[in-house]
Structure 1
């Protein structure tokens, strides 16, 4: 018995005229290929969808049009911008295209590519009585890969993602992370025959009827589909291919990542019980020790209190020292209790770090003025190191609070932690997963902090 060989065929349609605003794409496609059949997949270049929907706009300056379509800039190099556009797609130039459009105009992506795909599919069903899948495609570059390829930006009646998790491979091994971007694979197949400049904006793929369904966007393990919907209405369509911000490990470009880590670094005083990854803290220390320092020294030391016993022992000793100091200052018991409670952020944190300043390599000049300035240089370097540390923690999605309390009882901290006499504790950093999202940061006008001479 001969084993069935899986195969498919894909071809580009000839005879699609220059598309004008208001054209019915389903009618143009049906006229060019009246032999379409159930289970076919139509791969439609977004450019003709945009033209039919009147997405041509006058724009003497393409950059201005890109600005209007941009939600955020992800990365920039020279004139090239990778941005997130209003459709939620991350791509070059927001998808604004100045080619194959009259001079002085640019072409924008369809307003809702999934809705466009649904309209074409419904039109073909009405005209030809067939159930097909429709994928609206556009050309993307990709991180870490040279060259361009077509991907799906809109879809209807197509299994956009095949979720194979929970199934097994040919050897019986469990699949735990495999989700196939089926719609993107279909788009790439169509691009091979459409070409970029041959005037063939539509391709047909035949032979894979299992990727066409009654409306389900995402299939489950082993191809199991969810509830059917008519013509793809009510499904996510190609939107399912766009990672949410929460799940996207590579959401930020280099410059944006630096800016966001700095601006999103907030003092966090309430933490969850979720354990802190010690590796994340060590990566933050590695960032800390890249800070500038005088005389090519390394004045930073970080004491990491990873056990609850070490944290409690230190905080109890510090509390006793604070209380004794406050009572010597004549503070009332109510005032003492109130001030001690301010240190609770350290006690409730699941992880503590004590940054310490060491003066190894410092110069001694023999007069108070220059020796004082020498120490100040080292203290400034310590602050730079701790700032790096806090920003890196924010990049690890960890909250932190730098509390100065250890500086008021350094001898107690050194004795409790068994530190060398030359190590000066410079506060303590409470670290953990934030119990809630921080509120909006009040805007500060940088101009108010600048003097120009």
Structure 2
């Protein structure tokens, strides 16, 4: 795809109304050549297809077109709409339309592109490609540009992977969004204010295909490949929702860096008296981990037998719950360090002081769990170390003022946890 390009506006189109034959209007307005690429603003497609909606409340129209809120800041919403596109306001447009009305995107932009292409071919006999374009903002970049939301007769992506560059290097990740580049080029000669909703890109006849092709759908990044699927607050809420207790883990190792990133989130928790009452012991030594779990098991068996009077079978059933700590790829021991706590003669105030530090440690552990969930790791926070703190301190050689506050098992979940039913907020709220 090399050579000189021309980008030509198509002037003289009438105001588009419902039922308009766009293919015929374009064919009449410009002398098309084989291999031309016709870029059509989605707004006139919407008008021709009767996608005009009388709506005094644009927000309600956006709600109706929204499948998923990606990010929200004030009144601005980035959403995934019913066409699968992620964009501002679901593509609902109140410009270039009469007051009290809004334009929705075409119901199926690829189908619209195929229809216009077929009509042009019927009337002119010329094989062209058709793109339906709309204006998008972009992550990381200021300003807007047109992109392709519908396509016919064009491979929308040009995959360079496996080719070599001028220096002989093999290209590993380069995939050019050809359709988006063409849509942006067309927008240079189109414009809302000038009333020129169609452009022709000429000079790339090799890009035009005999078949209609897969349309613009391949341009939409798959969710599993989308590292920016959510805005900040939405990502936090989703990570919190994903934070589930996982008891069966895949064998995949957990990188030490992932644990440390989660600890960095953990130590942002609120704490009393400007203290930092959290410590996290990362059991990266397999032998030290085995020694700890064996010592904890022996202590548990002894206490259940001597203090609680349990028989061997009951003890075995109870201690089997701790096997998940052996199966997990990674293990973290959160500890409370009450350095900086105030001391009171009154026992009640001293107990409250201790509780403040325990609550802070709980907040830190929650941060840890949520951060790990955000990276796709499952966790199980179990209380076992709290019942044999002296054993834990001895085996791990911890200071006497470090109080273990359970253990966190970490790993990739072996299966996707079932969806948790949404809990009604009112059941947990008291208003006075």
The SS at the match of 2:145 is: strand
Alpha-carbon distance in structure 1 between the residues aligned to 2:33 and 2:45: 22
Please report the TM-score for the alignment, with normalisation by the length of structure 2: 0.97
Report the equivalent of 1:81: 77
Note the C-alpha offset of 1:5: 7.5
Alpha-carbon distance in structure 2 between the residues aligned to 1:278 and 1:212: 50
Alpha-carbon distance in structure 2 between the residues aligned to 1:318 and 1:130: 79
Asked if 1:355 is matched to 2:334, the reply is: yes
Equivalence map 1:107-126=2 (5 Å): 107-126=103-122
Please report the TM-score for the alignment, with normalisation by the length of structure 1: 0.93
Asked if 1:134 is matched to 2:130, the reply is: yes
The SS at the match of 2:199 is: strand
Q: Is the 8 A contact 1:122 1:231 kept in 2?
A: no
Q: Which of 48, 57, 61 is equivalent to 1:61?
A: 57
Structure 2's unaligned 5+ residue stretches are none
The SS at the match of 1:397 is: coil
Q: Is the 8 A contact 2:2 2:204 kept in 1?
A: no
Mark the CA change 1:294 to 1:55 in structure 2 (over 3 Å): closer, same or farther: same
Alpha-carbon distance in structure 2 between the residues aligned to 1:333 and 1:24: 83
The SS at the match of 1:246 is: helix
Q: CA RMSD in A?
A: 1.3
The SS at the match of 1:187 is: helix
After superposition, the C-alpha distances for 1:117-157 in whole angstroms (9 at most, x for unaligned) are 11111112222112211110001111221111100111111
Alpha-carbon distance in structure 1 between the residues aligned to 2:305 and 2:150: 70
Alpha-carbon distance in structure 1 between the residues aligned to 2:254 and 2:90: 38
Alpha-carbon distance in structure 2 between the residues aligned to 1:320 and 1:129: 85
Note the C-alpha offset of 1:448: 1.0
Higher mean C-alpha displacement, 427-436 vs 368-377: 368-377
Q: Is the 8 A contact 2:282 2:333 kept in 1?
A: yes
Report the equivalent of 1:30: 27
Mark the CA change 1:88 to 1:5 in structure 2 (over 3 Å): closer, same or farther: closer
Asked if 1:47 is matched to 2:28, the reply is: no
Alpha-carbon distance in structure 2 between the residues aligned to 1:94 and 1:142: 14
Corresponding pairs, count:
431
Asked if 1:231 is matched to 2:209, the reply is: no
The SS at the match of 1:391 is: helix
Higher mean C-alpha displacement, 293-302 vs 257-266: 257-266
After superposition, the C-alpha distances for 1:332-382 in whole angstroms (9 at most, x for unaligned) are 222111111111221110000000111111112233222211111111111
Q: Is the 8 A contact 2:96 2:192 kept in 1?
A: no
Equivalence map 1:14-413=2 (5 Å): 14-33=11-30, 35-214=31-210, 230-232=211-213, 235=214, 237-328=215-306, 329-413=308-392
The SS at the match of 2:224 is: coil
Note the C-alpha offset of 1:304: 0.5
Alpha-carbon distance in structure 2 between the residues aligned to 1:14 and 1:442: 55
Alpha-carbon distance in structure 1 between the residues aligned to 2:351 and 2:60: 54
